[in-house]
C-alpha cells in the first residue's frame, strides 16, 4: 500500500527535523515543513483581549467557558449541538475517534461554534499504553525512558504534528510522574525512572510539542509517590513537602520552565501537606503558582474519577467542580459518568456558587481569562494542513 505523506503549511521546521529520525512507517502519515506555527506566541499578546471578552460575559457564560466536557459519539451534528452550550473545551476519547483521518478532522471542526474563539480540543495522546490515535506508531514511554533524550524530542515532535493535523489543540500527553517501581500503576507511562532522567525527557517532550500544540504536564504533584490507581481510588502518600521538592517536584518544575501550557492536577492525597486530593487543595494550587511559578492553565484530571472512588464526599460532580475552581483550578474536566446534561449541570452549579458567594467571582473571572487566553493563542497558532507534494511516498 502506497501512502503520501502530509505536510503542515506553516508548521514548525523543528517537527520536520524530528520526523527524519522517527520510524519511517509511523512517520508516513504526518510530516511538516516551513516556518513557525506556534513557537514564539506569547500569552501577553492575547491576555488583554481575553480579559475584555470575559468581562463582557454573563456569569453563566464565564462558567461554561471553563468546562471541558465529553460525550461518547462520532456524530458531528450531535457534538456541535453539545458545544452550543458555550463550553470552553472538549476532550476526545476512544469513542470519539472515527475510522478515517478525514472524518476526524470533520468531527473536530464541528466542535467549533464561534470560529473567532474555538474551544480547546484535547486528547490523551501519550503514545504507547495511552493512545487514542491508531496512526501514532512513534516511540512512547515504554521505550524512550531507556533511549537518548533526542529520541523523546523526535517522538513528541512527530506526535504533536499528528495531533495538530487532526484539528486538536491540546495534548494531555506528557506524564511528568516519576517512579522506579515497575509494579506501580504509572511506571509504564512515566518518561523516567528517577527525577533527573524524567526531567530531561519532560523538557524534551514539552519543548517539542509547544512548537505546534499546547502541551500538558500530569499528574501534579506526582503519581509515582502515591501507590494505587486514581481512576478508582484516591492514592495517598505520606511524603513530606521537602521530600517532594527534592524528588517528584523536579520533572514538573522542569516542564514548567520549558513552557508547558497546562498543568493537570491529579486526584492524589499527599497527606502531610493536605488531606484533600491535590485537585481540590488550595495549598497545592498555591505551591504550583508561587513555588514553581506556573502561570498557565491548571486543569483537573477527570472529575468523574473522584466519583468512581466511591467516597461519599466526592459523589457529586457539581460540588467537585466548584471545590476545584475554588481551590485554584482554571479548567474542569468531566468524562467518566458524563451524560449530555452533566456539563450544563456543572455550569449551573458554578454560576450558582458565584451568585451565593460560595465561589468568589474574581476566582471565576481569573479562571475564565486564563482559559480564554489559551484559546486565543491556539487560534493564532492555527496550522493549515495540506498534502506535501515534495514528500516521497512510502510503501
Question: Which are the catalytic amino acids?
Answer: 231, 301
Exposure string over 170-200, b if 16+ CB within 10 A, otherwise e: bbbbbbbbbbeeeebbbbebbbbbebebbbb
**Type and span of the H or E element at 358:** none
Cβ distance 47 to 366 under 8 Å? no
Q: For residues 210 and 229, give the distance between their C-alpha atoms in angstroms, rounded to a whole number.
A: 29
Report how far residue 146's alpha carbon sits from residue 350's, in angstroms, rounded to the nearest whole number. Answer: 45
- β-pair partners for 270: 237
Measured at the CA of 13, the angle between CA 5 and CA 205, to 5 degrees, comes to: 95
As a whole number of angstroms, the distance between CA 178 and CA 199 comes to 9
* C-beta atoms surrounding 356 within 10 Å: 8
Q: What is the C-alpha to C-alpha distance for residues 138 and 158, in angstroms, rounded to an integer?
A: 7
**Could you give the CA distance from residue 290 to residue 132 in angstroms, rounded to a whole number?**
34
Q: Are 93 and 132 in contact (CB under 8 A)?
A: yes
Residue positions counted in the chain: 395
Q: Helices then strands (H, E): number in the chain?
A: 16, 12
- Through-space distance between the first and last CA atoms of the chain, rounded to whole angstroms: 6
Q: Cα(156)–Cα(140) distance, rounded to whole angstroms?
A: 8
Beta pairing partners, 67: 332
CA distances from 169 to 86, 116, 360 (A): 17, 15, 29
169: which 3 cell numbers? 489543540
If you write DSSP's letter for every residue of 14-63 in order, what string do you get? HHHHHHTTS-HHHHTT---BSS-SSTT--THHHHHHHHHHHHTS-HHHHH
Interatomic CA distance for residues 261 and 206, integer angstroms: 9
Amino acid at each position: 500500500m502506497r501512502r503520501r505523506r502530509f505536510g503542515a503549511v506553516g508548521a514548525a521546521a523543528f517537527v520536520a527535523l524530528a520526523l527524519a529520525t522517527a520510524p519511517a512507517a509511523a512517520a508516513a502519515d504526518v510530516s511538516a515543513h516551513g516556518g513557525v506555527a506556534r513557537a514564539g506566541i506569547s500569552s501577553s499578546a492575547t491576555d488583554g483581549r481575553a480579559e475584555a471578552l470575559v468581562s463582557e460575559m454573563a456569569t453563566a457564560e464565564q462558567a461554561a467557558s471553563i468546562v471541558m466536557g465529553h460525550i461518547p459519539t462520532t456524530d458531528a451534528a450531535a457534538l456541535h449541538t453539545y458545544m452550543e452550550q458555550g463550553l470552553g473545551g472538549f476532550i476526545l476519547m476512544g469513542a470519539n475517534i472515527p475510522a478515517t483521518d478525514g472524518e476526524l478532522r470533520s468531527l473536530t471542526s464541528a466542535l467549533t461554534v464561534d470560529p473567532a474563539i474555538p474551544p480547546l480540543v484535547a486528547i490523551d495522546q501519550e503514545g504507547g499504553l495511552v493512545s487514542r490515535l491508531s496512526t501514532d506508531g512513534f516511540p512512547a514511554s515504554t521505550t524512550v525512558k531507556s533511549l537518548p533524550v533526542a529520541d523523546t524530542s523526535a517522538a513528541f515532535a512527530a506526535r504533536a504534528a499528528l495531533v495538530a493535523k487532526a484539528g486538536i489543540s491540546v495534548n494531555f500527553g506528557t506524564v511528568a510522574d516519576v517512579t522506579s517501581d515497575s509494579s506501580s500503576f504509572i511506571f509504564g507511562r512515566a518518561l523516567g525512572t528517577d527525577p533527573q532522567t524524567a526531567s530531561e525527557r519532560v523538557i524534551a517532550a514539552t519543548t517539542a510539542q509547544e512548537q505546534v500544540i499546547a502541551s500538558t504536564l500530569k499528574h501534579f504533584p506526582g503519581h509515582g509517590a502515591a501507590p494505587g490507581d486514581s481512576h478508582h481510588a484516591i492514592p495517598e502518600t505520606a511524603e513530606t513537602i521537602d521530600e517532594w521538592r527534592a524528588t517528584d517536584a523536579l520533572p514538573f518544575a522542569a516542564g514548567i520552565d520549558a513552557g508547558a501550557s497546562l498543568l493537570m492536577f491529579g486526584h492524589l492525597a499527599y497527606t502531610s501537606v493536605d488531606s484533600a486530593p491535590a485537585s481540590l487543595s488550595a495549598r497545592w494550587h498555591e505551591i504550583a503558582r508561587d513555588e514553581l511559578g506556573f502561570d498557565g492553565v491548571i486543569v483537573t484530571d477527570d472529575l468523574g474519577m473522584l466519583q468512581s472512588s466511591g467516597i461519599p464526599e466526592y459523589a457529586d460532580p457539581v460540588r467537585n467542580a466548584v471545590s476545584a475552581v475554588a481551590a485554584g483550578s482554571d479548567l474542569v474536566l468531566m468524562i467518566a459518568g458524563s451524560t449530555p446534561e452533566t456539563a450544563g449541570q456543572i455550569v449551573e452549579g458554578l454560576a450558582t456558587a458565584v451568585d451565593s458567594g460560595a465561589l468568589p467571582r474574581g476566582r471565576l473571572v481569573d479562571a475564565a481569562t486564563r482559559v480564554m487566553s489559551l484559546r486565543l493563542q491556539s487560534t493564532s497558532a492555527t496550522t493549515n494542513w495540506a498534502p506535501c507534494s515534495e514528500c516521497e511516498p512510502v510503501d
